[in-house]
Structure 1
Amino acid sequence: MLGALAKKIFGSANDRRLKTYAPRVAAINALEPELASLSDEQLRGRTDELKAELASGKTLDDILVPAFATVREAAKRTLGQRHFDVQLIGGMVLHEGAISEMKTGEGKTLVATLPVYLNALSGKGVHVVTVNDYLATRDAEWMGQIYRFLGLSVGTIVHGLDDDQRRAAYACDITYGTNNEYGFDYLRDNMKYDFAQMVQRGHNFAIVDEVDSILIDEARTPLIISGPIDDRSDLYLAIDEIVPRLAREDYDLDEKQRAVSLNESGNEKIEGWLREAGLLKEGDLYDAANITLVHHVNQALRAHKLFQRDKDYIVRNGEVVIIDEFTGRMMPGRRYSEGQHQALEAKERVQVQPENQTLASITFQNYFRLYEKLAGMTGTASTEADEFQEIYNLEVVEIPTNRPVQRLDEDDEVYRTAGEKYKAIIREITEASKRGQPTLVGTTSIEKSEYLAELLKEDGFRQIDFADPNALEPLYDAARRGEHRKIFAVLNARFHEQEAHIVAQAGVPGMITIATNMAGRGTDIQLGGNAKMRIEQELGPAGGDMPAEERARRQAEIEAEVARFKEKALAAGGLYVLGTERHESRRIDNQLRGRSGRQGDPGRSKFYLSLQDDLMRIFGSERMDGMLTKLGLKEDEAIVHPWINRAVEKAQQKVEARNFDIRKNILKYDNVMNDQRKVVFEQRREFMARESVRDEVDEMRHGVIDDLVARHIPEGAYPEQWDTAGLKEAVAHVLNLDAPVEEWAKEEGIAEDEIRDRLRKLSDEAYQSRVERNTPEVMTYVEKQVLLQSLDGLWREHLVTLDHLRQVIGWRGYAQRDPLNEYKSEAFDLFNQMIGHLREQVTGQLMRVEIVFQEPEPEGLPPMFAEHLDPATGENEFAAGHATGSSGGGGPALGFAAAGMSADTAVLERDPHDPTTWGRVGRNEPCPCGSGKKYKHCHGRFTA
């Protein structure tokens, strides 16, 4: 009560913050006449003047007013657009490192130019982050006109660029790109072996467009760089023959948690069928030897019972293509990992591709926290304000609209069954079409958008194909005559190539557009249609074959007609947003609603629900069904009441809170890995920066000797208690030295310190002779490569181990122990073990290395895939990546021949008694020494 009263008197915290920007807005406006009088050359010269002021000691805040005023004037001259006062405020919020929440149609893309230009003046680079390649390219070209006019360079990072192109783009003052590409470039950079091969130059300032989509929806899951492993397609196909035979009572399905598992009867049936198929040869399904079969069965079960075709994925051109739940777009090249995509390929009977293993990973949460300053913009952030503050320390500031919102948001209509709901939707669409009101119909999946399209066709509507340049002519003709034509278009992943044209013309009077999702579409729906896109489509690009006078006449006609169409659409009530279902997230619903009522236009929005909708069905519709029955709700009748809206909103809040908890929990675990990742990446960069790592190599060798001596000669033990035979064998195995340890131990009064010193001296002499034999210059290069390659290999193994640990650590909770603390403790021990392994592996390799000169290998990292977990399912996706960067940093063309080394080399005939002739040995190969063991269990084994 008191809080509400104080808010009325003093305004909200948001209102008070907005008032602080008023003086600077007034100052920017005051500069406008002065800047308008400057020539283009004089205006461009202001960039150098502002840079000089920064160099003289001024801060970015000191030059904000003249910089913003300069951008506004440049935008007027290049784009014909002038920043509104509220857009200036939005730009200041972004510059301060906060989230600017601006309604759809308020010009967020233009707002970003203000802080981007200001921060780019520092010369440290500014990254603008978008949700897809189309928006990155479009915005870089569109807004780039302003930056280039003012003398700044603009680059774009999209999929498919090589390293040189990426390096050039990052070197620009301003770089546009997608969140995935930025993250993957960071991971790839930290797999390179030379600074010159890296593409990014630091993380100064980033503005994230659709910040809620990127930092909330996609943040639950990590980006992963992975590489291919053995092909097991036959196993996937064989198991896929078995799983569909399960009955409903053979497995437990939890749609709320999106989980499915076999129960006792299911286990028995699967075991029997696997034995019949010859896949289960001994023991039961859950024996350690059969754990791979369990994994494959579980993934096949998920593929059949959780994943729905045309909702979670589609099959196109013989490939399973993932559908992004939040944008409704296809994600070509992306794949679920851990065998899930292979299970889907087996289910759909398309070619099963090989699996992959993790080489490097990071979450968006931890990647974007690398930036010195981070900001974001979206139309819907306030519902997630707590999460932005807690995870990213980002405050959400609501920016007022340039004109008052006139959209009417009506209460939901709730029906008992989906059939009744769709009947009502068809009736409503028909009425809107008769009125000539443009209508945007929102659905939650491809399947439902196409089901609704079929219902419309049955009712006499005709679907148009935007691939035909004359597709809209019947609609334009009807709008001119004021007639009613039943015409609609579908925007989903199947028609994503036509996306910009469909969205741009969704405001034509009488147009019906069915869209799977409107998040991050990047193209506003303008009443009457988009004149610019219509001109491009009907007249072609400027400078074509059409005479200039004819083009100007036709262009004026189109612009006049679009203006008339806008008047008709306004008279019909503006854009009508009709939602066919509530999404789990209120933000997605708000994004759909926000398409209507842009820049003060009238509009209307309404959602139609049924108790059979996923949200209502999963989150407690039984009580509501009983209540509606008692109220005597008849067939085809709906209940409309604000209480229903509040009940649905509470259900959405529950889902959002659960997802927030999932993201927080994932971040807590990932923070443990992130701390270790920072240490490894920083150490790696330090090694790369040094001309020589000889000191580190010597220190590692001495550390290994200290560990060996401590292991075989316990502190304070008598000489007769020493394990001299074991020490001699360990020294030979690790250091490749034949040390007379047993003879030394027989000397009178000798102590372990003396043994340690002698071993150090012996190893130093042996290593020095190896350096002289191979030349110091070559060995300097080899040492760095061995160190970096060993660190990379062990780090990859460590990532896999941590992933496995994370999957099972939850069981510690049954022993009344905190799984997170247990994970931290275990991860710390594993990290220390990895460091020990690194010392021994590097020492062992360098004490055996022999240089073999040969033709240089082609440069480039090994085949890799860029993965990102699907936010809807929690499963990995990955995109086939290109080999990037260089595996070497120049230097002589040479190879390594050493026990356990990972470099491919041309080697001599292997001598079982001389490890220097073994070259590269696969970890699962028989050991060349002839022991009969695998190499990883014999000479390839290093223990801490």
Structure 2
Amino acid sequence: MFGALARKLFGSANDRRVRGYQPKVAAINALEPEMLKLTDEELRARTDLFRSELAGGKSLDDLLVPAFATVREAAKRALGQRHFDVQLIGGMVLHERGIAEMRTGEGKTLVATAPVYLNALTGKGVHVVTVNDYLARRDAEWMGRVYRFLGLTTGIIVHGMDDNERREAYACDVTYATNNELGFDYLRDNMKYDLGQMVQRPHHYAVVDEVDSILIDEARTPLIISGPLDDRSDFYNTIDLYIPKLGKEDYTVDEKQRSVSMTEDGMEKIEGLLRDAGLLKGDNLYDIENVSVVHHVNQALRAHTLFQRDKDYIVRNDEVVIIDEFTGRMMPGRRYSEGLHQALEAKERVKVQPENQTLASITFQNYFRMYEKLAGMTGTANTEAAEFQDIYNLEVIEIPTNLPVQRIDDDDEVYRTAGEKYNAIIELIADCKSRGQPVLVGTTSIEKSELLAELLKQRGFKQKDFSDPDAFRPLYDGDAGKAEDKVFAVLNARHHEQESYIVAQAGVPGAITIATNMAGRGTDIQLGGNADMRISHELTELSEGEARSAAEKAIREEVARLKKTALEAGGLYVLGTERHESRRIDNQLRGRSGRQGDPGHSRFFLSLEDDLMRIFGSDRLDGMLQRLGLKDGEAIIHPWINKALEKAQQKVEARNYDIRKNLLKYDDVMNDQRKVVFEQRVELMQDEDVAETVVEMRHGVIDDLVTKHVPPTAYPEQWDTQGLAEALRQALGLDLPVVDWGHEDGIADEEMRERIQRRADEVMAAKSAQYGPEIMRYVEKSILLQTLDHLWREHLVTLDHLRQVIGLRGYAQRDPLNEYKSEAFQLFETMLASLREAVTAQLMRVEIMTQQPEEPAPLPFMEAHHLDASTGRDDFAELVLAEPDLAVTLAPGEDADSPNRDPNDPSSWGRVGRNEPCPCGSGKKYKHCHGSFE
């Protein structure tokens, strides 16, 4: 009670924060008359002035007021748009590392120009992050006019660009890009072997548009660069045949946790089926030899029970394409990991693509936390304010609207059955159509949107066909009474390409638009339609001239007339067909109505058969409603229902946040190691000479071997000199009289160590003298980088496997996270030790041959470690370097199949496949014997 009273008297913390920006807004407004008097050249010259003041010691905060005033004037001249006061406040929030929550239609795209310009003055580069390529292109061209007017360069990063184009774009003052492209470029840069090939600069400042979609919704999905493994597509198809033979009693599905598990009867049934088919090794499904079979069965079961076609994915062009659950967008190129995508392909009888091995990965959470300065903007962030604060240290500030919101938000209507709900929805759509009021209908999946479309067709409505060339003419002429005008448009992942046009025309009087989730669409719904969009579509064949000017004028006059009609009809009516798990998604849909002070209306229709209601216990409520005598077609409407639903959504949001937070704790462990490895790579590439590092590695390996076989506290008769001699042959290729040294009087372990180091150094010095110091330094750096990459990739796979099983430690009353940290640290130390041994072993055996290949050699990381599935050979045994006239091979000699191999002379072995028996005759595979890198 006292808190509410205090808020009435003093305002909320958000209100006080917003009021704190007013003095700066007033100062910017005071400069406007001065800016008006400047010529275009004088306005542009202010950029150089600001940069010189920065160089003279001023801070960006000192320049905020004059810089914002300059940008406002530039936007007026370049775009014909003037920043509102609230847009200036939003820009200040972005400059101060905050999240500006601004309603849909308040001009977030323009808001970003002021802080982006101010921070770009440093010359370190500013990234503006969007959710798709269309928005990146549109905003870079649109807002780029302002930056170019002020003398800044603007770049854009989209799919399909080569490295040179990307490097030029990143070098610009302002770079527009999607979150995916930025993340993948970072990973690709850290797989390069030359600093000159890298495209990104250090991460200075980023403004993330639709920040909730990128940093919350996609935070659980890591970006992964992968390479193909062995093709097991037949096995996926085979396993898939047995899943439909299971009954519902054979497994249990937990929809809340999105998990499925076999019952005991189900395990016995699938075990019997697989045993009869000869797919099991032994009799027990859970024998260690059948681990892979169990994995495939579990993934196939998940594909059949948890993933629905046209909701979680669609099949297009013989491919399974994932659908973003929050935006309804297709995500081509994204694939589920751990064989799940292959299981879906087998289920849908499309071509099963090979599984991939992770080469590099990072989550968006960890990528965006690398920026020195991060900010974001969206229409809906307040419900996730705690997560933004905890994970990214970003404060959410709600920016007031430029004009008061006039939208009317009705209480939800709850029906007993889905049929009753859809009948009520169609009646309301028909009513709006008869009055000429545009309607936006929000659905949660493609399946639901197409179901509603079918019901509308049964009521005499006609669906707009966007494959028809005439589809891009005006959707409606505003005469709502015409029967032939009863058409509607459907926007979902199937019509991804026409998305912006469908959204832009959804405000025409009488328009009916059915859409999956409206997050991040990036195009405003303007009452009367979008004149610019219509001009671009309808006047493509008209060149500049009087005819085009007249046509443009006619379109703008028609749009103005249609807007007046739509306003008189009550503005845009937003109709939600069910509640989403997240309040934020519902708010995004609702926020499409009532932009810039326009009137509007919103209402959600629910039934007890909806997913949210069903999962969170609607059975008891259904029984109660029947006892109370609720008739067919009647709905419950009460504010208490809204509050109850909101609490249910809050519980789901809290659970999802806990999942993301827990995943981040595990990923932070890998991220710390990733930073170390990537920083080490950059340092190695920067070093002209890594000889000192290589020597330290070699001496470290020798120290370890001597300490192991000749302990400093042991007596000479306890030394294992025979074992040390063998270890030196395997690890360094040195055949030294260590046994004889051990019999010398007075010799100590330290002297033994010095002799071995001296002999090893002499071998490397001889190689350097033979091939030349320059070539040898090049070879050392190449082998060091390639070996590091190989071991890091293996380490990633090991960590992934560890993460999958570490939860079982909880049964032993141990904290899985602490166990994971401890194990991961030990594995990392083991990887570093393996790096020393592998690099030393390769350099001690390396021979360099000068040759001229027929074709230029590929980049080293493309060829460094490639397993040939048909032969089992690993090209790690031959490292092809970037120089076209150099090739490095380990122990050159006869071919692998040569009969002239001497088991005691590794120089005669030639190229040995990693999985071949070791030529020394030990019976082990080469990779576990003389070819060991562990």
Secondary structure, counterpart of 1:479 in structure 2: coil
Q: Would you say the 8 A contact 2:434–2:481 is kept in 1?
A: no
Secondary structure, counterpart of 2:358 in structure 1: strand
1:635 counterpart letter in structure 2: D
Q: Give the corresponding residue for 1:392.
A: 392
> Where does 1:370-389 land on structure 2 (aligned, <5 Å)?
370-389=370-389
Aligned pairs, number: 916
Q: Would you say the 8 A contact 2:733–2:844 is kept in 1?
A: yes
Q: Give the corresponding residue for 2:368.
A: 368
Alignment partner of 1:926 out of 907, 910, 917: 917
> Where does 1:751-830 land on structure 2 (aligned, <5 Å)?
751-830=748-827
Task: Work out whether 1:717 is the aligned partner of 2:714.
Answer: yes
Write the distance in 2 (CA, Å) between the matches of 1:92 and 1:762.
Answer: 66
Write the distance in 1 (CA, Å) between the matches of 2:350 and 2:753.
Answer: 62
Write the distance in 1 (CA, Å) between the matches of 2:539 and 2:7.
Answer: 54
Q: Would you say the 8 A contact 1:899–1:921 is kept in 2?
A: no
Task: Work out whether 1:745 is the aligned partner of 2:745.
Answer: no
Write the distance in 2 (CA, Å) between the matches of 1:499 and 1:932.
Answer: 63
Q: Would you say the 8 A contact 1:467–1:498 is kept in 2?
A: no
Q: Would you say the 8 A contact 2:94–2:207 is kept in 1?
A: yes
Write the distance in 2 (CA, Å) between the matches of 1:123 and 1:19.
Answer: 31
Cα distance 1:160–1:926, how it changes in 2: closer, same or farther (>3 A)? farther
Q: What's the TM-score once normalised by structure 1's chain length? A: 0.94
Secondary structure, counterpart of 1:206 in structure 2: strand
Write the distance in 1 (CA, Å) between the matches of 2:247 and 2:362.
Answer: 40
Q: Give the corresponding residue for 1:70.
A: 70
1:620 counterpart letter in structure 2: G
Task: Work out whether 1:446 is the aligned partner of 2:446.
Answer: yes
Q: Give the corresponding residue for 1:897.
A: 889
> Where does 1:42-61 land on structure 2 (aligned, <5 Å)?
42-61=42-61
Q: Give the corresponding residue for 1:300.
A: 300
- TM-superposed CA distance for 1:268, in Å, is 1.3
Q: Give the corresponding residue for 2:95.
A: 95
Secondary structure, counterpart of 1:471 in structure 2: helix
Secondary structure, counterpart of 2:573 in structure 1: strand
Write the distance in 1 (CA, Å) between the matches of 2:279 and 2:335.
Answer: 26
Deviations 1:10-64 (A, max 9, x none): 1111111111211111111111122122221221111111111111111111111
Task: Work out whether 1:551 is the aligned partner of 2:543.
Answer: no
Q: Give the corresponding residue for 2:667.
A: 670
Q: Would you say the 8 A contact 2:311–2:446 is kept in 1?
A: yes
2:570 counterpart letter in structure 1: G
Secondary structure, counterpart of 1:81 in structure 2: coil
- TM-superposed CA distance for 1:863, in Å, is 6.5
Write the distance in 1 (CA, Å) between the matches of 2:567 and 2:280.
Answer: 68
Q: Give the corresponding residue for 1:354.
A: 354
> Where does 1:520-669 land on structure 2 (aligned, <5 Å)?
520-540=520-540, 544-546=541-543, 548-669=545-666
- Percent of pairs identical after alignment? 73
Q: Give the corresponding residue for 2:461.
A: 461
- TM-superposed CA distance for 1:274, in Å, is 1.3
Write the distance in 1 (CA, Å) between the matches of 2:68 and 2:721.
Answer: 76
Write the distance in 1 (CA, Å) between the matches of 2:900 and 2:154.
Answer: 55
- TM-superposed CA distance for 1:623, in Å, is 2.5
Write the distance in 1 (CA, Å) between the matches of 2:772 and 2:318.
Answer: 55
Structure 2: stretches of 5+ with no match in the other structure:
864-878
Secondary structure, counterpart of 1:477 in structure 2: coil
Write the distance in 1 (CA, Å) between the matches of 2:791 and 2:537.
Answer: 55
Write the distance in 2 (CA, Å) between the matches of 1:556 and 1:661.
Answer: 54
- TM-superposed CA distance for 1:928, in Å, is 4.1
Q: What's the TM-score once normalised by structure 2's chain length? A: 0.95
Q: Give the corresponding residue for 1:276.
A: 276
- TM-superposed CA distance for 1:913, in Å, is 4.5
Secondary structure, counterpart of 1:672 in structure 2: helix
Cα distance 1:453–1:815, how it changes in 2: closer, same or farther (>3 A)? same
- TM-superposed CA distance for 1:920, in Å, is 5.5
- TM-superposed CA distance for 1:329, in Å, is 0.9
- TM-superposed CA distance for 1:221, in Å, is 2.5
Cα distance 1:146–1:689, how it changes in 2: closer, same or farther (>3 A)? same
Q: Which sits farther off after the overlay, 760-769 or 399-408?
A: 760-769
Cα distance 1:358–1:917, how it changes in 2: closer, same or farther (>3 A)? farther
Write the distance in 2 (CA, Å) between the matches of 1:347 and 1:104.
Answer: 40
Q: Give the corresponding residue for 2:867.
A: none
Secondary structure, counterpart of 1:632 in structure 2: coil
1:166 counterpart letter in structure 2: R
Q: Would you say the 8 A contact 2:858–2:882 is kept in 1?
A: no
Q: Give the corresponding residue for 1:939.
A: 930
Q: Would you say the 8 A contact 1:895–1:905 is kept in 2?
A: no
1:719 counterpart letter in structure 2: P
Task: Work out whether 1:40 is the aligned partner of 2:40.
Answer: yes
Deviations 1:149-176 (A, max 9, x none): 1111111111111111111110010000
Q: Would you say the 8 A contact 1:203–1:371 is kept in 2?
A: yes
Q: Which sits farther off after the overlay, 530-539 or 189-198?
A: 530-539
2:889 counterpart letter in structure 1: A
Q: Would you say the 8 A contact 1:328–1:493 is kept in 2?
A: yes
Cα distance 1:472–1:791, how it changes in 2: closer, same or farther (>3 A)? closer
Cα distance 1:143–1:467, how it changes in 2: closer, same or farther (>3 A)? farther
Deviations 1:418-468 (A, max 9, x none): 111111111111111111110000000001100100000000001112444
CA RMSD of aligned residues (A): 2.1
Secondary structure, counterpart of 2:31 in structure 1: helix
Secondary structure, counterpart of 2:736 in structure 1: coil
Q: Would you say the 8 A contact 1:228–1:354 is kept in 2?
A: yes
Write the distance in 2 (CA, Å) between the matches of 1:180 and 1:737.
Answer: 49
- TM-superposed CA distance for 1:481, in Å, is 7.2
Task: Work out whether 1:181 is the aligned partner of 2:181.
Answer: yes
Secondary structure, counterpart of 2:242 in structure 1: helix
Q: Which sits farther off after the overlay, 853-862 or 839-848?
A: 853-862
Q: Give the corresponding residue for 1:859.
A: 858
Q: Would you say the 8 A contact 1:849–1:916 is kept in 2?
A: no
Secondary structure, counterpart of 2:362 in structure 1: strand
- TM-superposed CA distance for 1:480, in Å, is 8.0
- TM-superposed CA distance for 1:808, in Å, is 0.7
Secondary structure, counterpart of 2:61 in structure 1: coil
1:245 counterpart letter in structure 2: K
Q: Would you say the 8 A contact 2:472–2:538 is kept in 1?
A: no
Cα distance 1:450–1:860, how it changes in 2: closer, same or farther (>3 A)? farther
Q: Give the corresponding residue for 1:872.
A: none
- TM-superposed CA distance for 1:482, in Å, is 7.8
Deviations 1:732-758 (A, max 9, x none): 100110111111111112221111111
Q: Give the corresponding residue for 2:870.
A: none
1:125 counterpart letter in structure 2: G
Write the distance in 2 (CA, Å) between the matches of 1:295 and 1:305.
Answer: 16
Cα distance 1:21–1:127, how it changes in 2: closer, same or farther (>3 A)? same
Write the distance in 2 (CA, Å) between the matches of 1:208 and 1:900.
Answer: 53
Alignment partner of 1:832 out of 825, 829, 832: 829
> Where does 1:313-332 land on structure 2 (aligned, <5 Å)?
313-332=313-332
Deviations 1:486-533 (A, max 9, x none): 110000011111111100000000010000110000000000111111
Larger RCO (CA under 8 A, 6+ residues apart): 1
Q: Would you say the 8 A contact 1:228–1:863 is kept in 2?
A: no
- TM-superposed CA distance for 1:275, in Å, is 2.0
Q: Give the corresponding residue for 1:884.
A: none
Write the distance in 1 (CA, Å) between the matches of 2:316 and 2:274.
Answer: 31
1:363 counterpart letter in structure 2: T
- TM-superposed CA distance for 1:546, in Å, is 4.8
